[in-house]
């Protein structure tokens, strides 16, 4: 029987090529979750367009049919941002992975959304690099980075994705292709580019991305200092920042995560250390050398009992492997874990770590701490055994209390992973009704029909009023997926 959905699938086959339209259950299963596996939803169809035109035709067809869609990059996101809408369309950008242009005079790279984060740095190295470096950079796509405004270990000094994206070609939810920003950095007009980056796929799909790349620093010095406790290491962070230093990265790991990572990276770090502080200075040779002395002195003064400096690139890579392996390595010490991404003002670090310890004891669960200490972005890893009755729920409750504690200290519910579906319930702890209403104004300007990644970011589904015009039934209303408020 020919249904409206079958008609849509026919149109998608015409737009993307039949072999790039997946409708079989076994094929669709690959796409039922992103990097956050506890959320699962089965789409009706997955399309893999090969060009901006095909993306635009796909979105236009969905718009005509009133069917919601979710854009997806590598699927490595940790907030369920790419979770499909049940029986909706997933638009996977993984086939669009060409680097279109490299211009080192202006410091620009133009690429398609499916290009991996690391591939950009590789395309401009060794003289230049692309600073935002999420731990998943080997696999995560630049399109996903744009959607999530991804951070990484080096953003304390260098900033986030949003500070490096200068132009986007996007497909709006009605299928129209529009360019935001441009080759020039200081263009007049509304900063729609700034509003789009980090909008988690709810305002449209980026089909062409221009980023800035910067010269590779002349000198990089990486050291790790070991402390008795995370509190002591936190004091060191405060002292480093107060001294006016802006290191490329300041990362902290606690004893539990050092132990887990050691099993994966074998760096030979002391397993009895209460905390490891990984600090990377980069910049001019002279300035790095001068700051390195200060850094060593500060670490000693704040109680570091051992400091190791990476002797060469190979050792530096091992240090970083320890840090970047922390999430996956946690699987070696706990059957399951729940990752949080809250942020606190850096000066509240000791306070919040004590609170996390208290909560961990109260719930009888282990919490590993690994975080971007420079910018106060915590990644508590709440360990649990999903097979033990009630433990998953307790872990989630504990994680929620950590989030709330961070907001109460003046922080944020997410520093780099995004809201997605996972954290939208915490949005009201940070934002009031008027704040959410203002967010909705922006969303409605881009997507009045609510078809782009519905059910994400906002705590409760809401629809766009017309400006101006008579009432008409919303596609989601019609489908019983949302109510008018």
Partner 1 sequence: MSSSRQASRERVKPTSPQETAEALQAAAADGRSVRVIGGTTKSGWGNVVPRADVELSTTGMTKIVEHNVGDLTAVLQAGVSLARAQETFAAAGQMLSVDPPYGAKKAATIGGTVATADSGPYRHRFHALRDLVIGVTIALPDGSVARAGGKVIKNVAGYDLAKLMTGAFGTLGVICQVSVRLHPRPGLTATAHAPGEDPATLAAAAAALAVRPLEPLALDVDYKRGNGAVLARFGGVTAAQQAAGALEILRAAGLPDATLVEDDEPLWRRQRKGQRAAGGGTVIRIAGTPRRLAAALQAADALGARAVARGAIGTVWIKLPAADSAEQIAAIEELRARVAPSPATVLDAPDSVREALDPWGAPGPATIALMRRVKERFDPGATCNPGIFMDGI
Considering beta carbons, is residue 180 or 481 the nearer one to partner 1?
180
Q: Angle formed by the axes of helices 230-242 and 285-301, to 10°?
A: 140
CB of 155 or CB of 329, closer to partner 1? 155
Min separation Cβ 433 and partner 1, Å: 8
Residues sharing a CB contact under 8 Å with residue 258, sequence separation 6 or more, in sequence order: 269, 271, 273, 275, 276, 322
Q: How far is the CB of 126 from partner 1 (least distance, A)?
A: 10
Q: Name the minimum Å distance from CB 43 to partner 1.
A: 25
Cβ count near 177 (within 10 Å): 16
Burial class (CB in 10 A: 0-12, 13-18, 19+), 440: middle
Taken in order 288, 314, 114, 457, the sign of the CA dihedral is: negative
Closest CA to 371 of 402, 400, 332, 410: 402
Q: How far is the CB of 36 from partner 1 (least distance, A)?
A: 15
Considering the complex, state which of residue 114 and residue 234 has its C-beta at the smaller distance from partner 1. 234
Cα separation, 459 vs 456, whole angstroms: 8
Min CB(127)–partner 1 separation in Å: 7
3-state secondary structure of 237: helix
Measured from the CB atom, the residue of 176 and 263 that comes closer to partner 1 is 176
Shortest distance, position 19 Cβ to partner 1, whole Å:
32
Q: Which is nearer to partner 1, 11 or 416 (CB)?
A: 416
Cβ closest to partner 1, residue 244 vs residue 364: 244
Minimum Å gap between C-beta 376 and partner 1 is: 6
Measured from the CB atom, the residue of 16 and 344 that comes closer to partner 1 is 344
Contact between 204 and 447 under an 8 Å Cβ cutoff? The reply is yes
Q: Please state the three-class secondary structure of 101-158 as a single string.
A: EEECCCCEEEECCCCEHHHHHHHHCCCEECCCCCCCCCCCEHHHHHHHCCCCCCHHHH
**Are the C-beta atoms of 248 and 282 separated by less than 8 Å?**
yes
């Amino acid at each position: 029987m020919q249904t409206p959905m079958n008609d849509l699938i026919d149109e998608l086959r015409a737009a993307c090529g039949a072999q790039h339209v997946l409708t079989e259950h076994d094929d669709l299963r690959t796409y039922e979750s992103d990097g956050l596996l506890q959320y699962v939803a089965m789409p009706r169809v997955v399309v893999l367009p090969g060009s901006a035109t095909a993306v635009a035709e796909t979105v236009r067809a969905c718009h005509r049919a009133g069917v919601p869609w979710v854009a997806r990059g590598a699927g490595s996101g940790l907030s369920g941002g790419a979770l499909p809408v049940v029986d909706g369309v997933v638009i996977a950008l993984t086939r669009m992975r060409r680097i279109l242009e490299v211009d080192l005079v202006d410091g620009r790279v133009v690429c398609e959304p499916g290009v991996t984060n690391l591939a950009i740095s590789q395309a401009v190295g060794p003289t230049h690099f692309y600073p935002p470096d999420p731990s998943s950079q080997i696999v995560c796509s630049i399109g996903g980075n744009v959607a999530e405004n991804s951070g990484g270990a080096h953003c304390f000094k260098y900033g986030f994705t949003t500070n490096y994206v200068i132009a986007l070609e996007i497909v709006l939810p009605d299928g129209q292709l529009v360019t935001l920003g441009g080759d020039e950095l200081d263009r007049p007009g509304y900063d729609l580019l700034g509003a789009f980056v980090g909008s988690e796929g709810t305002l449209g799909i980026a089909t062409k991305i221009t980023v800035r790349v910067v010269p590779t620093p002349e000198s990089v010095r990486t050291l790790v200092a070991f402390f008795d406790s995370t509190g002591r290491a936190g004091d060191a962070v405060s002292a480093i920042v107060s001294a006016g230093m802006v290191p490329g990265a300041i990362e902290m790991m606690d004893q539990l995560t050092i132990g887990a990572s050691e099993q994966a990276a074998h760096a030979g770090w002391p397993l009895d250390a209460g905390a490891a502080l990984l600090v990377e200075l980069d910049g001019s040779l002279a300035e790095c050398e001068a700051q390195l002395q200060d850094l060593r002195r500060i670490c000693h003064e704040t109680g570091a009992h051992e400091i190791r400096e990476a002797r060469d690139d190979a050792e530096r890579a091992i240090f970083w492997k320890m840090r970047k392996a922390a999430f996956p390595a946690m699987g070696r010490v706990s059957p399951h874990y729940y990752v949080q991404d809250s942020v606190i003002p850096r000066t509240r670090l000791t306070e919040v770590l004590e609170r996390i310890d208290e909560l961990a004891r109260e719930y009888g669960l282990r919490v590993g701490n690994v975080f971007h200490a420079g910018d106060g972005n915590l990644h508590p890893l709440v360990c649990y055994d999903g097979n033990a009755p009630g433990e998953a729920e307790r872990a989630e409750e504990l994680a929620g209390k950590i989030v709330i504690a961070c907001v109460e200290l003046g922080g944020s519910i997410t520093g780099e992973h995004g809201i997605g579906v996972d954290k939208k319930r915490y949005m009201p702890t940070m934002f009031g009704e008027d704040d959410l209403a203002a967010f909705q104004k922006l969303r409605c300007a881009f997507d009045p029909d609510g078809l782009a990644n519905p059910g994400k970011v906002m705590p409760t589904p809401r629809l766009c009023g017309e400006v101006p015009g008579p009432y008409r039934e919303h596609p989601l209303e019609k489908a019983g997926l949302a109510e008018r408020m």
